[in-house]
Amino acid sequence: MPNWVDNKLTIEADKVTIDNIFNKIKSQQFNDSKVYQIALGLYPMPNDITYVMGTGGSEQYAVLQDKIVRPPSVANFVDKNYDERLEFVDLTEVQKKDLNEKHGATNWYDWNVKNYGTKWGDCSTELINHEESKLEFVFESPWSHSAVLAQRISEDYKASVELKHYSIENWEKGMFLFEEGTLHKSEYELLGDPDEVLVPVSEEE
């Protein structure tokens, strides 16, 4: 499992822009609540990238009965819970070049990092405020904060976007404020090494 980062994303813009952003963000109903997907709604991954796994020059796609299929997840590999008829084929240099020219990446992992700043998009996303000129969401992201996503939204929609992030697993917290794509303000605090946390000594000692 990754180290998880808690994010709070605040988007401020005129009503038309806020409505445009909100209408593009995907959502799913789970019992009495909705779960949103900001990254996939605003910046969906190109279909041909979703089928490519691996990174660092060892990209592959999976083939089953002469059809390219979605590759098994890491969990499937670990549990050996995947179809043994799958064949894994290395991408050719021509295929890698073509994907890189079209999308700036040759596999889903690198594409996510480039476009979202994280291994996956936002996870467990909740809408906590929706006003005419403001949207606020809280969500988790794997391994890193989502400043890349925040900056991209700010630039593409000419909006003011603030991202606050906190991770006890990464031992850090901070904030980014983007104005129309330009970093206007940032804060960062290293929370400290858990091995160096001091235990309070009582007055009697």
Token duo for residue 148:
């890349």
Whole-angstrom CA distances from 104 to 96, 97, 115 are 10, 9, 10
The Cα 96–Cα 61 span in angstroms is 12
pLDDT digits over 112-132, tens only? 999 999 999 999 999 999 999
Token duo for residue 31:
């019992």
Is residue 117 within 8 Å of residue 149, measured between CB atoms? yes
Token duo for residue 167:
């991770």
pLDDT digits over 20-61, tens only? 999 999 998 888 889 999 999 999 999 999 989 888 889 998
What per-residue confidence (pLDDT) applies to 81? Answer: 56
The DSSP call for residue 53 is B
Give me the residue spans of the domains in the chain. Answer: 4-44+116-196, 47-114
What per-residue confidence (pLDDT) applies to 83? Answer: 66
Token duo for residue 57:
């020059």
Strand partners, 90: 60
The model's confidence at residue 204, banded by pLDDT at 50, 70 and 90, is very low
Kindly report the CATH number that applies to the domain delimited by 4-44+116-196: 3.30.70.1270
What per-residue confidence (pLDDT) applies to 200? Answer: 46
